[in-house]
Structure 1
């Protein structure tokens, strides 16, 4: 059976505290860079989606103009009811 010594417990606690503060320090150091990269990637995705949407709208308008010219049969007359 292995017994824990007081020095071993203090050493373990010290290592945990050092690792905690080291991770905290590194996150403060690198967090702005990481956030900047995430924002840049989201901006690129938004721009690509906007481009795809614009292309789809342009192709729909193009198709509607082509087909609408062939389907015109006559004039549209709006009738009103007379009481």
Structure 2
């Protein structure tokens, strides 16, 4: 009788745990995801805010800022090499 009672208690705890896990797993996952998002936001947002503040301090109202240097037009070199005529060999 004691063995049967022990097996029933183990099964009851196992199935109870499965039911509770199904109920609380989505809540736990949402909590973990929210915490990870906050940590990532703090780390990434700190850099982003620092860059924005630095740009705002450098730039005055009405001032035009060019972030990218234009490509310099380079003349092509005409003395690249000589043209070699070839024939196909079968």
The answer on 1:34 being equivalent to 2:27 is: no
The answer on 1:50 being equivalent to 2:43 is: no
Unpaired runs of at least 5, structure 1: 1-13
Runs of 4+ in 1 over 3 A off after TM superposition: 71-75
Higher helix share: 1
What RMSD in Å do the two structures reach over aligned CA positions? 3.1
For 1:15 and 1:60, locate their aligned partners in 2 and report how far apart those are by CA, in whole Å: 64
The answer on 1:66 being equivalent to 2:53 is: yes
- Report the counterpart of residue 70 of structure 2 in structure 1: 77
Between the two proteins, the alignment pairs up a number of residues equal to: 70
Q: TM-score normalized by structure 2?
A: 0.51
Unpaired runs of at least 5, structure 2: 60-64, 77-90
For 1:31 and 1:43, locate their aligned partners in 2 and report how far apart those are by CA, in whole Å: 19
